[in-house]
Structure 1
Amino acid sequence: MTTIRVAVPRKGRPLEVVLDRLAAVAGIEELADTIISTLRYEKAVTKDRQTAGEDVYDRLLTYSGTDRYTPEYTLLRDTRPGYPRRIVFDSLCVDLGEYDLQLVGREEPFRALRKHAFALGFDSADLVLEEVVGIESEPLSSLDQLNDRIDPHDTDVRVVEGLGDTVDHTLLSTPDVATAPDRSFLTDYEGPLCISPRYERLVRAVLGSDVMEGISFRYPGGREEEAAIASVGIGVYLAVTGSTARDHGLEVGERLFPSETVLLENPAERNDAVTSVVDLLRGEISAAAR
């Protein structure tokens, strides 16, 4: 049987949405639910919201199996002070009939594809913007524009499609700065804009170089992002409902760009099996039909 290896995140929302997609196309609902609930529990233990009855190594032994179709987990050693080791996803094989799909946990799936270690993978669209998307005068506003902004000399990796788990990078402001902040407001705005430092290149690409003239970045510096934006007056941050922003007295403005898990492909590693798996993952065929 041909095995197709796919790089996936080790934890969090991006991994959950990948498992949900596989549950839908390959009928592994119960298995996906088990992995998701296990990792949510381990996250709660890490954040002291749950107390584990067993040692971390005993839990790791309990969760993992020797059969390739049973999920395996591993310990992530967090280098940040005060953060304990955390059990995260490591690998799983999913039977697709003609093919085995081997999910392989990676801290940075996108970079693994860039190194040609995988033909397929899932990662956040944010990382594509932060690493390889060119900054041009025109703003970037949708996932459909990503591939056109990737320099082919920089990487072979391309975005196939988004998985729909959208959280938007949203323009937020205090009422005295703007009551409905949008791109047109930023066109004439000059002054500080509060962002997370990890999103600096992303924000430049999303706003476009013309809009960036006269704007200088400010960073939270350890404060909660919404509180930092409230002190600066305007900023960009991830928002789902905007309720937390409103709790800080902020106006929720234009949603600038979706932060979404995306299916990635390295076309240089493509073959017929990979093409079939891409069709399956996009929902164009079902595993039962194979």
Structure 2
Amino acid sequence: MTETVCVAVPRKGRPLEAVLERLAAGAGVHALADEVSSTLRYEKAVTKGRQHPDRDVYERLADYSDLSDPTSPEYTLLRDDRDGKPRRIVFDSVTIETDAVNVQLVGREEPFRSLRTHEFALGFDSADLVLEEVVSLRPDGLDSLADVNARIDPRESDVRVVTGLGDTVYHTLMAKPEVLPPGAELDREFVADYTGDLCISPRYERLVEAVLGTDALTDVDFAYPAPDADEEEAAIADTGLGIYLTVTGSTARDYGLVLGEHLFPSETVLMENPTEASDATEDVKELLTDQQLETAIEA
């Protein structure tokens, strides 16, 4: 009988879509990947009020999930964080059969923490969470995924990053032009010489410390957008200097901000807890990484 390996994945959003795209390439399940992604995008539109279905949430949930077929995707209900705590349909699980091993994707709210507690040998989550939780803070910063494993204290976690999936956006420096002296580059060296407020999202405080290094932040005070702020870029414009995720940077430019150095890639990563590894998990790693999409990270 072919062995089944359970892999922890996010329940929704860009990281889950990145995992599905990688499996579509590795296992040829393009139709399945498209089905799950389109279903979750539709349900996100429902929670945002952009779609108004005729069927209630339980009818849609029953229609999406075929419990008689383990290779058919299953979904579940969660309470959304928005006002009123509406129910939201999210991914639960699916089994993908291959010649070498069966891969069961299992939805988790916090896949990284599921690996830390040894529930899974393999899982996918945002690289940001690794920096926020277990990467040690040092005087010098880091700027690539390849640096991450060396910064994980083995007393804090057994989990290691295997590879990134390439769904990259960046934590990017941005500033009002008047903050920059003539000819100055908006980069790490500028921050190291800077004195004043740096606007960031509160959840990224430890990540920014890890990326820039504690020495660069000696004379810097963190400022945060108001809880009801519509755009982080607007708060950065008010502060003068900040860091936020960018894809095209168009919103930052709308607020008169100059884009500077891409400090660190925010992308989905494959992680492993080596203490739970087996021959079967090695087969899954090969399936997920032998596609020339990214360079695997040395432990």
Deviation by residue 1:33-55 (Cα, 9 ceiling, x = unmatched): 01000000000000001111100
2:269 and 2:62 map into 1 onto residues whose CA distance is 31
2:115 and 2:148 map into 1 onto residues whose CA distance is 16
Contact 2:77-2:87 within 8 A present in 1 as well = yes
How far apart are residue 105 of structure 1 and its match?
0.2
- Report sequence identity in percent: 63
Q: What is the SS of the residue equivalent to 1:133?
A: coil
1:199 aligns with 2:204: yes
1:82 aligns with 2:69: no
Deviation by residue 1:52-86 (Cα, 9 ceiling, x = unmatched): 11000000000001110000000011354334111
Aligned to 1:184: 189
Q: Which amino acid aligns with 1:40?
A: R
Aligned to 1:276: 283
Contact 2:121-2:281 within 8 A present in 1 as well = yes
1:220 aligns with 2:194: no
Match of 1:73 among 72, 75, 91: 75
Aligned to 1:241: 248
The farther-off stretch of 164-173 and 270-279 is 270-279
Aligned residues: 285
2:291 and 2:172 map into 1 onto residues whose CA distance is 32
1:156 and 1:175 map into 2 onto residues whose CA distance is 44
1:177 and 1:243 map into 2 onto residues whose CA distance is 20
Structure 1: 5+ residue stretches without partners: 286-290
Aligned to 2:295: none
TM-score, normalised via structure 2 length: 0.93
2:90 and 2:284 map into 1 onto residues whose CA distance is 25
2:133 and 2:283 map into 1 onto residues whose CA distance is 28
1:277 and 1:38 map into 2 onto residues whose CA distance is 25
How far apart are residue 209 of structure 1 and its match?
0.6
Q: Show structure 1 runs of 4+ deviating over 6 A.
A: none
How far apart are residue 140 of structure 1 and its match?
0.9
Q: What is the SS of the residue equivalent to 2:99?
A: coil
CA RMSD in angstroms, aligned pairs only: 1.1
Aligned to 2:258: 251
Aligned to 1:105: 107
Aligned to 1:288: none
Structure 2: 5+ residue stretches without partners: 293-299
1:245 and 1:165 map into 2 onto residues whose CA distance is 20
1:132 and 1:72 map into 2 onto residues whose CA distance is 32
Aligned to 1:50: 51
Q: What is the SS of the residue equivalent to 1:249?
A: coil
Match of 1:160 among 162, 182, 192: 162
Deviation by residue 1:228-253 (Cα, 9 ceiling, x = unmatched): 00000000000011111000110000
How far apart are residue 284 of structure 1 and its match?
5.6
Q: Which amino acid aligns with 2:164?
A: G
Contact 2:101-2:283 within 8 A present in 1 as well = no
